[in-house]
Amino acid sequence: MIYRREERLYVEGMEDEDMKKETQNLAYPPAFKLEVALFAKKHSQYAAAKIFNVARRRIFDWMRQIPKLEELIAKGHMKKMTGRGPKNRDIDQALYSWYCDRKARGNRPKSCHVQSKARELYLTYGYRDMKCSYGWFKRWSQRFQIQLRYSYDDEILEWIMSRFDENKSVTAHELQTYGLSLIQREDPGFKASSGWALRFCKRHKEYMDSDTSFTNSLPQHLDSRVKTFRRVLHQLQQEKRFSYSSIGSVDELTINFNSILEKRPGCLLKYTGLDTADICIILSVMADGTLLNPMLIFKSDSDLSCDTKLLGVGEAGGMTQASQISEKGSVIVVEKGRPSTAMSAGPHHINTDPATILSQGLDAQSPPLLTPLEFSVWLERVWFKAATTPSFLLADSYSVHTAELTKKLVLKEDSVLAIIPRACSSKLQPLHQGIKIKFRTHLEEMFLSTVKTSIGKGEGKPSPGKDMIIEWVQQAYDAIKDDKEEIIRSFKRADIFHT
């Protein structure tokens, strides 16, 4: 794809002279000229002028130069030479060959590496005063049509997918802030505009969903992590001989109902993390095709009401907190309790009994939606009851999965807990191979249907009740659980074990 140095909408009625005034200082690369000339040859000069915003007089000249343009591109002349040229073309070409060789081996050099190598080459040729500044690097990159703006895409993609693993929100503004901090160190003139963020998301649209996999490859350094992790798991399977009824994976699905309504067509990046979620659902599947019972967690400050069985009210350092747990059909429901007094300082004691655990102290100001305490309830009520021992559980690098309490419980039950490498869940997590997105889509459709019905009756935007949400989760579970073949295929696609 050719990227022009200037893009703007064509205004109907624009004359050639007006275009000439605005584009007369542009230096178009031969590849762009050839693209425009071939388009004009196939269609018309007038159509090419409208689409590419180039005066017809220029297009007429380029059409006569098609053979010459093809020859220039074949020789590697990627950009028209303007301003200062290279001091030594042989050094330029040698540096480009070195750059291509490093890139082909999966180690694409950054600007500082290219500048350092250039100084070394120039010094070898006797140029002792060559500084090879960042401005020089940009001109060198333009001569060989190296896209500078994409050189940090792999690092940014890893950051986004790591945020997904950590169940943290990701917004366009956060993307701009991170991109600016990363790229501006080498390019002080870089501006992470909203347009830059939009173009980044469009280039990597498949990577922008936290709950799915994709056909594209991961960045090479992440792909290497995936391959290494699979080799380790295959070796572990050969040693332990886990049965399909003992192999499973777990992940969290977060839902914010307002974001479902506010989601606009073309919105590419607006991920709801646990910090902004209304509910959290712990989903889990097994390699034998079983979809385990979901666990639904409501916020402690929720004003939604439902009768639940009080399992534990205890005290921890002067703080009393009740957590309510109930089973509604196949759904385990947890409504986090509200702290009544500030928790005093004291030694932390780990209790592995879920009923007691949930009665102990959390942050009195803003208790997280999911902590190791709630996850321990899932382990006791779902995983340890369903899996045969010894068991194998796969989870991402979210801090709750790697907490000391989680490790102690897993070790106590003779289980193996495998943590997916950072930013690699899209390829290694079976739930990301279709199950999780189906569950989410079902909930969104049920909510939007309720909204449509409520607005149709003139009742305005509804606030879904707790019992209604539980019913939606039950319906989603019932719709997916019988498709055992799809669940088994999700493990095959993740290729974590030979199923």
Q: Between 191 and 4, name the one with better pLDDT.
A: 191
Predicted local confidence at residue 485, as pLDDT: 95
From the CB of residue 141, how many other CB atoms can be counted at a distance below 10 Å? 18
Question: What tokens were used for 270?
Answer: 């607006």
Question: What tokens were used for 306?
Answer: 């439902």
Q: Given pLDDT bands bounded at 50, 70 and 90, which one contains residue 44?
A: confident
Lowest mean pLDDT among 11-15, 215-219, 386-390, 493-497: 11-15
The residue-averaged pLDDT of 13-17 equals 37
For strand 309-316 and strand 247-255, is the pairing parallel, antiparallel, or unpaired?
unpaired
CA atoms of 282 and 478, how far apart (whole Å): 16
Q: Given a cut of 90, is residue 425 above it in pLDDT?
A: yes
Nearest to 143 by CA among 102, 199, 87, 211: 87
CA atoms of 183 and 192, how far apart (whole Å): 9
DSSP-H helix ranges across 43-110: 45-52, 56-64, 66-74, 89-104
Name 327's Cβ contacts closer than 8 Å, sequence gap at least 6.
Answer: 333
Q: Given a cut of 70, is residue 83 above it in pLDDT?
A: no
Measuring CA to CA, how many Å separate 241 from each of 279, 384, 417? 37, 18, 15
Q: If you average pLDDT over each of 200-204, 289-293, 308-312, 357-361, which comes out highest?
A: 289-293
CA atoms of 123 and 128, how far apart (whole Å): 5
Nearest to 499 by CA among 290, 359, 190, 220: 290
CA atoms of 394 and 428, how far apart (whole Å): 9
Percent of the chain surpassing pLDDT 90: 39
The residue-averaged pLDDT of 302-307 equals 42
Nearest to 306 by CA among 340, 333, 278, 274: 333
Cβ–Cβ < 8 Å for 48, 36: yes
What is the dihedral sign for C-alpha 131, 133, 135, 137?
positive
b/e 343-365 (16+ beta carbons within 10 angstroms → b): beeeeeeebeebbebbbbbbeee
The residue-averaged pLDDT of 376-405 equals 95
CA atoms of 411 and 397, how far apart (whole Å): 18
Q: Given pLDDT bands bounded at 50, 70 and 90, which one contains residue 3?
A: very low
Name 300's Cβ contacts closer than 8 Å, sequence gap at least 6.
Answer: 335, 336, 337, 338, 367
Lowest mean pLDDT among 61-70, 392-401, 405-414, 483-492: 61-70
Q: Given a cut of 50, is residue 17 above it in pLDDT?
A: no
Domains located in the chain, CATH noted: 16-74 (1.10.10), 89-146 (1.10.10), 220-494 (3.30.420.10)
Cα dihedral: 128, 131, 137, 139 (round 10):
-80
- Please calculate the CA angle 159-161-167 and round it to the nearest 5 degrees: 105
Cβ burial of 78 (10 Å; 0-12, 13-18, 19+) is middle
Q: Between 171 and 343, name the one with better pLDDT.
A: 171
Q: Between 128 and 482, name the one with better pLDDT.
A: 482
Average pLDDT, the chain: 80
CA atoms of 469 and 464, how far apart (whole Å): 7
The residue-averaged pLDDT of 373-393 equals 94
Predicted local confidence at residue 321, as pLDDT: 46
The residue-averaged pLDDT of 46-52 equals 82
Q: Given pLDDT bands bounded at 50, 70 and 90, which one contains residue 128?
A: confident
Question: What tokens were used for 429?
Answer: 């997590």
Report field, pTM of the whole predicted structure over 0.75: no
Q: Given a cut of 70, is residue 384 above it in pLDDT?
A: yes
Would you say how long the chain is, in residues? Answer: 499
Nearest to 462 by CA among 474, 471, 450: 450
Q: If you average pLDDT over each of 125-139, 142-156, 244-258, which comes out highest?
A: 244-258
Cβ–Cβ < 8 Å for 425, 249: no
Q: Given pLDDT bands bounded at 50, 70 and 90, which one contains residue 22?
A: very low
Q: Given a cut of 60, is residue 167 above it in pLDDT?
A: yes
Q: Between 20 and 440, name the one with better pLDDT.
A: 440
Q: Given a cut of 80, is residue 185 above it in pLDDT?
A: no
Lowest mean pLDDT among 70-74, 171-175, 195-199: 70-74
The residue-averaged pLDDT of 243-268 equals 84
Beta partners for 335? 298, 324
- The terminus-to-terminus CA distance of the chain in angstroms comes to 41
Give me the sheet containing 415-419, strands edge to edge. 309-316, 319-328, 331-335, 295-298, 279-286, 247-255, 391-395, 415-419
Predicted local confidence at residue 391, as pLDDT: 93
Cβ–Cβ < 8 Å for 401, 425: no
Predicted local confidence at residue 183, as pLDDT: 80
Predicted local confidence at residue 352, as pLDDT: 46
Q: If you average pLDDT over each of 303-312, 406-415, 451-460, which comes out highest?
A: 406-415
Nearest to 289 by CA among 498, 495, 480, 442: 480
The residue-averaged pLDDT of 234-258 equals 92
Predicted local confidence at residue 266, as pLDDT: 54
Q: Between 171 and 393, name the one with better pLDDT.
A: 393
